[in-house]
Each structure stands twice: as structure tokens, then as C-alpha cells.
Structure 1
């Protein structure tokens, strides 16, 4: 028996799907070796290449004030350790990805990058010990420079296991997410500890000048006031940003990724640009929090977290990348950080002006108030944009214009902060750090916010191109109760209804209670009788019966 084009296709024959030849489970994504040139393979190569570039850049930038390329007196021992751990991390990138033992490859990659992470932790510990020993003195601790930030990010990228599918799920990345959350707690705790430690040292310095002929006066009050304002502003900025690491949401991961990339780029620019020492007195090498603004507890944690979130941001599923609410919330988080720091900068500038006035120091009110006005204007624009994003659509010219203004104002703040800052006539500076600015409020973090504002502008454009998927409307089934009742047709009084008003022609009449179902009505039976009205046939005349033989 065969089927031709005139036969009616049956269900089982039309619905049968033949499985492709091959072993079972070979067509499932994420199982077995990925073919060369596939999307998963290309993303693995991209991540490994990014890790290798970061490891190379880490050698070219300073690790602290006393060690790094182009820093005089750098220890040869530290150079040897840096070279050794860099080679180990680079070797982890060429570990063969055997599909039969993916767990062993992942452990080997992690073990080869642990020495590099320990070296970064050693620099952090060294600065913490120096900060305690040199507290209250004129000597400056080493800090942690952009070389350590780049190296930590590269090592964390190289330590991650190879991708087995194009997109990464949170459930498959749970262990790394726990590590990122731990990093966020360490960042917040370390920043709070550093801010409290520096505040105690400055208060102690202010109280040491009391007693004897000199009593507690204006000078001591201004020292404590400046220490409290500077410390609180720097600490709040770190806490606001590091809290994003603890939030396990796609929006917070996108925000911390943008902040981490901006931090690395800002550190490199401040070190490379000729005027970088005027932007930041420590030449992009971060001290601990509240010593000179935002500390390395923030920069290092944000950069490391951005490296950990790469598979969940750049390689996120399409439903995450194409969700406008994810982009909206990420943009609003970045705007919060800009608002906090700009208002805090304005508060610090006003505090410096008040301190200079109380102590009768030379001051420049016009410059300080102009810089404070730019800070407040930038913060106001960021607040306005954040409010519009919460209530308006992303495809708006006003939102695009506001995001462009925020970028312009953040860059202008950095330029004016260097040009309008008061300066000393003669000052001796070191070979690595120091400048002649009398008021150092502009720092590397302001350059970081410029990069974050650029990310916000790009995110607004990207989110505006995303269209919401239209929901398919389900067809509404009309029941007998919801059908429109038939319109009654007026009849002539006193006479029989016309044929169009007969019950047999009223097909739209609602079903009565005793009406037979459709199956019964359509059953085979005698032909229906046609109703004929008396008006159409005329009156029936009586006929007289006559026998056939009885003729007149």
C-alpha cells in the first residue's frame, strides 16, 4: 500500500521525525567535543586571549610606589617572582581541553593560577602592614597599583574552566559566584577598616597638639572635620559599588563589569598620560581608603569581580542580553555611584573652603565654588536621568541627550579639577608621585566615572534598539451565553407570520432547553417538510366528491 498525492495524509505518517544518524545524545548542546570554529570555541579563545593580554600588561604597569617598570629601585627578587607566576598563568591557557576529563582540566587551570593570586594578595598584605607601621608619619605606604589590578583580572580569567556551551548558566557557575560574593564582603570590610584606621590616626594627630599653653581650638577642629568628611565620602563610594558584587542579579553584574573595566582603563591612563600626576598625586597607584580618596580595596575588588562575571555578562543567554529591564537597572545603578561621588566632591570642596577661611589660609573662593557647581550640576543631571529611566521609555531623545550631557560633565569635571585647583609656588616631588596642587580632590576615581558614564551612554543606545516581544493573543471562544441574541422582527398584528419569520428560518435563534443536540439533528431520517403559509398558496377551496359513473 502506498500513498500518492490524492490520498489524505494521516497523523502518524506526517508527524514522524527521523533522528539524525549518530550516537544518542550527540546532538545535545554542551556534550562532547565542540567542533573547531564553533561559537563556544571562539568564545574560549577570546577569553584566553584577553587573559594573556592582561597578564602581559600587568608587567608594564606599576604594582606599588616602589616596584614596577620605570620605577627606580625595583627589587630583582620581586621581578623574578612576577616572571615566574606570569609564566605559570600563561601555561594554564594552553592546557589541552580533553572532553573526557573536563574536571581535571579545570583543576589544573586553577592550580596554575593560584601562585599569581597569592602574589597579588602579598602586595595587599605588605601595604596593610606598612600602613600600620607608618601611620601618623610623613612616609607613604606602597599602595597597590594598576599592574596588580591587571594581573588579578588576567589570572582569574585564565583560572576559569573552558566553556562547554555558547552561553553560561548561573547554576553551572555557582562556585565562582560564591567566590565573587566573598570578594565583595572582603572589599567592604577592608574599606571600612582602612577608613576607621585613618580617621583614628588623624584624630590622634589633632589631639596631640592640645595641652600646655595651646588648648583645643580651631586648628584641631578643622583637622577632625576634614578627616571625617574625606573618609565618609570615600567609604560610601566603595560600599555602594562593592554592594553590587553581593547582588546576584544580571543588572548588578553588568554594572560591576562596566565599573571594573573603567577602573583598569583609568589606572592605565593616569599612569601613561603626561598630566596624570596632576590628576592623581599618587600617579594612579591607589592607597588604602580615605588616605587619598577611594582606595585599592575598591579598585582591586571591582576589577577581579569584572573578570569573574565575564561568562555571565559577555556570554550571557539571549533572554538576558535582550531584556530591556536588565539594561535599565544596570544604568540606574551606575548613575547612583555618579550621584554619590559628585555630591561628595562638592561637599569636600566646600569643606576645604570653610577650613581655609577659618584658618586664614590663602584661598580661591571662585575656583572652589565653580568646581562645586560643576559637581552639583553633574549630580543633578544624573538624578534627572535616573528618574526618567524609571518612568519613561528608553527610546527617547531626552534620555539620550541627558546621557550625553552626563558624559560631557564628568569629563569636564576632571579637566577643570586640574586647571582650577590652587597650586604651590615651589614644591619638591618624588620621581613617582607628588605634584604642586594645594587641593587634591580630583583623583583616579573621577577618571573611572568618565569611563562609567561612557558605558551608560552606550547602554542607553543599545537598550533603545531592543524591542519588546509581542504577546500572541489567544483566540476568544464564544459560548452560547455570550452570543448576541437575535433581533426580533415585527410581525403584522392579527395575521400569520410571513415565511421569513417562521421558526424554521430563524437559524440564529438561541438553543432552548429541550432542543436536541447537533448530532441527533444531523442523523439520517425522513426529508424535512417545507412549511408553506396560506398567504403564498392562497385559500383552499372545498371540492365535492363525485362518483366516476355519476356524470351530469
Structure 2
């Protein structure tokens, strides 16, 4: 085989393996692969989310918008609420139709992102109008027995569907320029949630302390009952405020683990709102039948629920986009999300324990009827759930802990979280006769003398199930990583210590040379597959002499032989 400088360059041999993918990283023989790079990352670059995933996001947006029509938006408006305003129903139907049109717009159409956002602006403004109406009524009815409208689960689902519909199409990257502004809006929502919850806590605490200090009786009769009212208002309000602050902090962070946890919390909020409203026992779980009031009025307020649902809709499409090759970063993100959820469960369970201790102390001090057994059982459920959640949060960073054990304990936390709701309703003290206002109101109110269980407990029950799913996914990622490391270690042990590295297929292509040996063992000549102008280092060459000047070789003339005397 020969090749000279003036020969035509030899092309790739048919059937030979491609030397290197254009998108793949350059790597020489013996050079280790960069950490975190999948073996096929260069040959098969990760494509963007598939069309199927885009259709799933659109389907979820449409489903949330439609279901939002069927749920109450506050205590005085919605399907199932008597005397709801028909004009407001027409407005809600119109803005929902606009958002559904935005869902149907093709993603690849030029200018579709702006049109999609514009079509969802009326829906977002309607949700803000309900929030403003509740704030107005809260200030107006402060210190009275009138109940503000609140913000119901219909608005939670609606704003989530509208934000899913308004977002730009996914271009394939986890973060792109268009999504950066949406992430900034999620941070604004998180800060607004914390500020509004703090303001609501201060406002409600002011009116309750004012009532205790300047009640209907003479101020000179200030005593144990007044102290009990103030202490209960402080304990209940602080516990609710801490829960909102802990959860809303995830909205202002940019880590993938915090965003995954925000998505889980928002999804749990939506599911909990539907469950509490639809179940007949919903009025016992939550005195306002799942329609959130202000923070500290009845536990966690709409400042948390509405913000979590909105932020989850912003983060979900990109945070849950399926990764073809899970990496250590993905595993750590799911583990962080599980740890954040366990922290929130532990904080609320300890807060519930503190509220039960406060109620028991008030009942003993004021000689109210109470059940020592029921109180101890409820407190035991809170304490055990909190301790197990704290232990799991600490040990989830320990990779030596078995994935099966971790998943099993997360399942126990989920079971305890759901059981807390059941026993909280079954063992709660009740009035012998329901109050008159409760019997007359078809939407909210119950006969519980002590209301600690709320929609937030149902939310944490669903969140605990999400933590179980995250633990299973983390265990799957960890198992794949460990098996990959074991295969690498096995290959290193099998290879001889002093053996030179085998020739890399990306550098040379071997062509068998015919000979006496069989084809599998025949000697080969290596031809470099670099640029065509590169000379081979030691390749065989054909010598060609200079034949530009040639001379004639003398040839003797033919002679005729004639015999003598012829």
C-alpha cells in the first residue's frame, strides 16, 4: 500500500467506525473522561424536551384552568356557593377561555410567546382582584365577627394553569434567556408571600390583643382568661408564620433542589385544596372548608397557598423535564428537595405539638373540659413524626445508608403524616351542640371546640408522599452510579499493570495485509486518518526517477546473410 503527495487523498473506509462525533469532546489516548460526563455524551448530545413533554405541560395547564372553574374562589363566590354573582361567573368564564386559547397556540409560531402572555394577563388580574378584595375586607372587618372572603382553591388552580399557559416554550436548555425573567418573578412572589404573611400576623395579633385588653368587660377584671387569649394568639400566629416563611424561602432560591421542592409543595397544595373541598369531612378538617383565610386567622393563610401554587407552575416545566443521563447533580437535587420537605414537616409537627400544649394549659387553667388521653395521643403523633423527619433529614446526606431503608422510613413519615389528619379530626374535642351560626352556614364552620388540624396538614400529607417518590428516585440514581463505578473498578483490575494502553480507534484505522498468518493475526499497516495533506511518518513509497530528459538507445541495423557465390 502506498500513498504519495500527488496521489488523490484516500477517503474513509466503508464500514469503519467514525473517529469522533463533531459534537463530542476531544480526548487523547489514556486521558481520563471528565467527571460527570456520560460515556455517550459526545456521541449522543442530549436533545431538548420532546414534543410529548410539551403536550403534557399544555394538557396540565388546560386541566388546571377547567378544574379551577369548578372550585370556590372565596367564601362568597364559586360553584357550590349559594348566591354567587352571575356576572362574576361570566367574567371568570371569559378569562378562562382566553387562557385556553393561549394553550392551543403553536409553540413554534413567531411571536407566540408574547401573544400567549397577553392572553393570560386578564386571568392573572382577576386573581389579584380577589386577593385585593380579601385584603380590603380584612381591614374593614378587623376586630369584628364578620369573616373575610379569603382565597379559595379555585384561584390556586387557576393561577397555576394561567402561568403554565403563559410561559414561553421550552427550547431545550434548562435555563434560557426567556425563562430568566420568569424565575425573577417567582422570587418576587416568594418575597411578597413572606411580607404579606408577616403583615397579616401582625394585624390579627393586634386585634386579638386589643380585644383581650379592652374586651366587653371592665379592664380591671383582667385575669387568666385575657392572658389565655393573648398567649393562644401569639402561639398560633407564630407557628403559622414560621411555616410560611420556611416554605416561601424556597421560592427565592435558584438551586434545582429548592425548585423541585417548590414544585412538590405547589402540587401538594393544589391536591389538598381539592380533597378538603370535595370530601364530606372537609369542614371538620378545615373550619373554612379549604378556603384559605389570612395567616394566623386559621393557621397558614392564602399568602402561602397561592404563592406556592404560582411558583410551582413557573418552575415545573423545566425542573421536571426528563434527563436522559442522570448525573450526580440530579441525584443531589432530588436529595435536597426531600430534605427540605422533611424540614417543613418537622417544623409544623413541632408547632402543632406546641399548640396542643398551649390548649391543654388553657383548658386546665380555665377549668374547661378536656381529654387527657386524646391530647396525649395527638401530641405523640406530632412528636414521633417530627423526630423521624428530623432524623431522616440529617441522615439523607449519608450515602452509606441503604436506599431501601431510606425509602421505607420515608414511607413511614408519609403514613404518620396522613394518620395525623385522621386522628386530629377523630379525637378533637367537640361542642355538645353545634353553634347556631355553624348550623345555618352551608359553606364553612364545624362543631370542633379545638381546631388545630387544617388544610396545611393535608398538604403535608401529600408532600410526604412526594418525598417518598423523591427518595425512590434518589435511590435509583445512586444505584446506577454505584454500578457504574463498580464496572470501572472491575475493568481496572482486569487490565495488566504494566501493559501499554491499547491503540485508540479514533487515531488509526487498521487494514489487514495478506500473508501466511490468518486474517485475525495478520500484520497490519496503519494509515493515519488526519488531514489529507499530512505525510505518513514511515509509510512505504515508490521511487520514481527523473525521466524528464531521455536519450535514444542505439539499436543495430538488421543484416541479411548471403552465402558466398550466391
Q: For this structure pair, what is the TM-score category when the shorter chain's length is used for normalisation?
A: 0.7 to 0.9
Contact 2:49 2:170 in 1 (8 A): no
The alpha-carbon distance between structure 1 residues 476 and 231, as it changes in their structure 2 partners (threshold 3 A), is: farther
- Counterparts of 2:375 and 2:19, CA distance in 1: 78
Contact 1:276 1:283 in 2 (8 A): yes
- Counterparts of 1:347 and 1:213, CA distance in 2: 29
Where does 1:197-236 land on structure 2 (aligned, <5 Å)? 197-209=203-215, 212=218, 214-236=220-242
Contact 1:40 1:164 in 2 (8 A): no
- Counterparts of 2:393 and 2:378, CA distance in 1: 23
Are residue 131 (structure 1) and residue 131 (structure 2) matched?
no
- Counterparts of 2:293 and 2:218, CA distance in 1: 35
Aligned residue among 383, 391, 412 for 2:390: 383
SS at match of 1:441: coil
- What does the per-residue CA deviation read over 1:209-247, in whole Å, with 9 as the maximum and x for residues that have no partner? 398573321111111100000000000000000000111
Q: Report the aligned-residue RMSD.
A: 2.9
SS at match of 1:126: helix
- What does the per-residue CA deviation read over 1:146-196, in whole Å, with 9 as the maximum and x for residues that have no partner? 00000000000000112233x532555211100111110111111111011
Q: Please name the residue that 2:71 is paired with.
A: 61
Contact 1:168 1:316 in 2 (8 A): no
Aligned residue among 58, 62, 67 for 1:48: 58
Count of aligned residue pairs for this structure pair: 457
Q: Please name the residue that 1:71 is paired with.
A: 81
Are residue 436 (structure 1) and residue 436 (structure 2) matched?
no
Where does 1:3-82 land on structure 2 (aligned, <5 Å)? 40-82=50-92
- Counterparts of 1:223 and 1:296, CA distance in 2: 24
Are residue 291 (structure 1) and residue 297 (structure 2) matched?
yes
SS at match of 2:121: helix
- What does the per-residue CA deviation read over 1:427-482, in whole Å, with 9 as the maximum and x for residues that have no partner? 2311000000000000000000110110111111111111227466899998xxxx
The alpha-carbon distance between structure 1 residues 16 and 457, as it changes in their structure 2 partners (threshold 3 A), is: closer
Q: For structure 2, list consecutive stretches of 5 or more residues without a partner in the other structure.
A: 4-8, 23-43, 499-566
The alpha-carbon distance between structure 1 residues 420 and 30, as it changes in their structure 2 partners (threshold 3 A), is: closer
Are residue 365 (structure 1) and residue 372 (structure 2) matched?
yes
- Counterparts of 2:232 and 2:58, CA distance in 1: 46
- Counterparts of 2:465 and 2:188, CA distance in 1: 29
221-230 or 9-18, larger mean C-alpha shift: 9-18
- Counterparts of 1:439 and 1:213, CA distance in 2: 27
Contact 1:394 1:460 in 2 (8 A): no
Contact 1:294 1:445 in 2 (8 A): yes
Q: Please name the residue that 1:454 is paired with.
A: 465
Contact 1:168 1:311 in 2 (8 A): no
How much does 1:411 deviate? Answer: 1.0
How much does 1:375 deviate? Answer: 0.3
Where does 1:142-157 land on structure 2 (aligned, <5 Å)? 142-157=149-164
SS at match of 2:411: helix
Contact 2:168 2:178 in 1 (8 A): no
Aligned residue among 83, 93, 97 for 2:103: 93
- What does the per-residue CA deviation read over 1:23-69, in whole Å, with 9 as the maximum and x for residues that have no partner? xxxxx9999xxxxxx95322221111111110000010000000000
275-284 or 312-321, larger mean C-alpha shift: 312-321
- Counterparts of 1:265 and 1:321, CA distance in 2: 30
Are residue 463 (structure 1) and residue 470 (structure 2) matched?
no
How much does 1:130 deviate? Answer: 0.3
Q: Please name the residue that 2:33 is paired with.
A: none
Are residue 355 (structure 1) and residue 368 (structure 2) matched?
no
How much does 1:390 deviate? Answer: 2.2
SS at match of 2:220: coil
Q: Please name the residue that 2:270 is paired with.
A: 264
TM-score, normalised relative to structure 2: 0.76
Larger Rg: 1
Q: Please name the residue that 2:32 is paired with.
A: none
Contact 2:276 2:289 in 1 (8 A): yes
- What does the per-residue CA deviation read over 1:108-134, in whole Å, with 9 as the maximum and x for residues that have no partner? 000000000000000000000000111
Q: Please name the residue that 2:512 is paired with.
A: none
